[in-house]
């Protein structure tokens, strides 16, 4: 790593990259006419990616995502940003085909070598899942950001939607929570090297293999946990028939995340997420202590998958190494109760 600069320090200096919350987004998107008979999934259902059918057996899956630095090392940041952007294609159960870079670069304060390392890291992740980088666009910006516009392919009958979970299925989470809190701790120089490395390792891991293996099972719903936190993305999975029951004691959590949360290294996005879920989630007893970690805005978080319990146990064994032992059953899909999500 180049010690002359720290990427995350530039984010702090610029400091205006507040993400829009789920509520804001709904408001700004309503009223846009996006009707098309080929559009199988548009943005009205808060899905992970949009899906457009091109013939009887093929549909294209499109998504884009970009983020400000969450670690100091440009190469690792590139990997994390790419893994984060590619994830929505995997959440739909699709294959990545092509990607385009989206870059805002602070040429005044950062050496161009840093940009080369970022793009190198990103490209390695695109190659890892069989995709190809086809170009992109870079602008000068006081705030560094990088991500991808991604195109994938899927059979129109094989889309894993987020709001179709079956009652009785269990919920699997494939990565630990806490990346938002830990990224904030990194920006403040509070996190130990080993915990920084563990968070970076998890964030740069693709959801590619867990998605491929998931397709061998009867999965009733899938999404990935990113900026709105586990509860925010969990709420997007709700339909009029179901509630999600989450067992707080089973949650996989990154080392030091709870300790750092106590020091209030909590990103603004996570605090907004906590407000957003308030009326729709109930906490039983001590489970209230998990409200923050369950709302923490994740970067390149894991897949949240609903499947039969017996299948889930087998699936978790198969992905155990890929997920560094973090993949766990964290709850169950139940018939609609008073609240959309109950944490116990
Ligand atoms: Co997503
Ligand atoms: Co996304």
> 170-343 maps to which CATH number?
3.90.650.10
Which of these is catalytic: 16, 30, 222, 323?
A: 16
> And the tokens for 339?
């609240």
**Other beta carbons less than 10 A from residue 300's beta carbon:** 28
C-alpha 186/C-alpha 196 separation (Å) is 7
Give the pLDDT of residue 28.
Answer: 74
Give the pLDDT of residue 165.
Answer: 98
Give the pLDDT of residue 8.
Answer: 85
Its pTM surpasses 0.85: yes
Of 340, 341, 176, the C-alpha closest to 255 is: 176
Ligand 2 centroid to Cα of residue 65, in Å, is 6
Whether 88 contacts 65, CB under 8 Å: yes
**Other beta carbons less than 10 A from residue 111's beta carbon:** 13
- DSSP secondary structure code for residue 154 in this structure: E
Question: Which residue shows structure tokens 């829009």?
Answer: 20
Ligand 2 centroid to Cα of residue 227, in Å, is 8
| Domain segments of the chain as ranges | 7-154, 170-343
Q: What number of H helices and E strands is found in the chain? A: 12, 13
Ligand 2 centroid to Cα of residue 194, in Å, is 28
Give the pLDDT of residue 5.
Answer: 81
Q: Give domain 7-154's CATH architecture.
A: 2-Layer Sandwich (3.30)
16 annotated active-site: yes
Give the pLDDT of residue 1.
Answer: 46
Start-to-end C-alpha separation, the chain = 43
Ligand 2 centroid to Cα of residue 51, in Å, is 14
Query: Are 7-154 and 170-343 the same fold in CATH?
Result: no
> Which residues, other chains included, contact 92 with Cβ-Cβ below 8 Å and sequence gap of 6+?
41, 47, 48, 49, 51, 61, 152, 154, 159, 160, 161, 222
* Interstrand relation of 341-343 and 242-246 (parallel, antiparallel or unpaired): parallel
Q: Exposure of 18 by Cβ count < 10 A (0-12 exposed, 13-18 middle, 19+ buried)?
A: exposed
> And the tokens for 172?
């699997």
Per residue of the chain (344 residues), what is the pLDDT tens digit?
445 788 887 776 665 556 677 677 667 777 788 888 999 998 877 899 999 999 999 999 999 999 999 999 999 999 999 999 999 999 999 999 999 999 999 999 999 999 999 999 999 999 999 999 999 999 999 999 999 999 999 999 999 999 999 999 999 999 999 999 999 999 999 999 999 999 999 999 999 999 999 999 999 999 999 999 999 999 999 999 999 999 999 999 999 999 999 999 999 999 999 999 999 999 999 999 999 999 999 999 999 999 999 999 999 999 999 999 999 999 999 999 999 999 99
Ligand 1 centroid to Cα of residue 5, in Å, is 31
Give the pLDDT of residue 50.
Answer: 96
Ligand 2 centroid to Cα of residue 224, in Å, is 8
Ligand nearest to the CA of 47: 1
Ligand 1 centroid to Cα of residue 143, in Å, is 24
Give the pLDDT of residue 13.
Answer: 67
Ligand nearest to the CA of 46: 1
């Amino acid at each position: 790593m180049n010690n002359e600069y720290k990427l995350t320090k530039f984010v702090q200096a610029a400091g205006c990259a507040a993400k829009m919350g789920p509520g804001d987004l709904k408001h700004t998107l309503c009223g846009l006419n996006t009707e098309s008979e080929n559009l199988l999934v548009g943005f009205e259902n808060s899905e992970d990616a949009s899906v457009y059918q091109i013939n009887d057996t093929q549909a294209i899956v499109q998504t884009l995502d970009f983020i400000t630095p969450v670690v100091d090392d440009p190469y690792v940041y590139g990997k994390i940003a790419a893994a984060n952007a590619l994830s929505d294609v995997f959440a739909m159960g699709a294959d990545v085909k092509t990607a385009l870079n989206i870059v805002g670069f602070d040429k005044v304060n950062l050496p161009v070598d840093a940009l080369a390392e970022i793009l190198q890291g990103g490209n390695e992740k695109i190659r890892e899942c069989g995709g190809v980088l086809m170009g992109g666009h870079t602008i000068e910006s006081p705030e560094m950001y990088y991500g991808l516009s991604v195109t994938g392919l899927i059979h129109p009958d094989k889309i894993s939607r987020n709001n179709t979970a079956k009652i009785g299925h269990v919920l699997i989470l494939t990565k630990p929570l806490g990346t938002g809190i830990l990224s904030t701790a990194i920006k403040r120089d509070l996190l130990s090297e080993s915990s920084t490395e563990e968070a970076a390792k998890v964030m740069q891991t693709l959801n590619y293999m867990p998605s491929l293996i998931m397709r061998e099972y009867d999965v009733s719903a899938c999404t990935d946990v990113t900026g709105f936190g586990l509860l925010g993305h969990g709420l997007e999975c709700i339909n009029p028939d179901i509630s999600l029951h989450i067992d707080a004691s089973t949650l996989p959590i990154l080392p030091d995340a709870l300790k750092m949360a106590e020091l209030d290294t909590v990103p603004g996005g996570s605090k907004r997420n906590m407000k957003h879920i308030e009326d729709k989630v109930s906490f039983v007893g001590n489970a209230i202590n998990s409200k923050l970690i369950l709302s923490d805005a994740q970067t390149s978080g894991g897949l949240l998958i609903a499947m039969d319990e017996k299948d889930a146990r087998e699936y978790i064994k198969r992905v155990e190494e890929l997920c560094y032992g973090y993949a766990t059953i964290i709850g169950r899909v139940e018939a609609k109760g008073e609240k959309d999500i109950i944490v116990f």
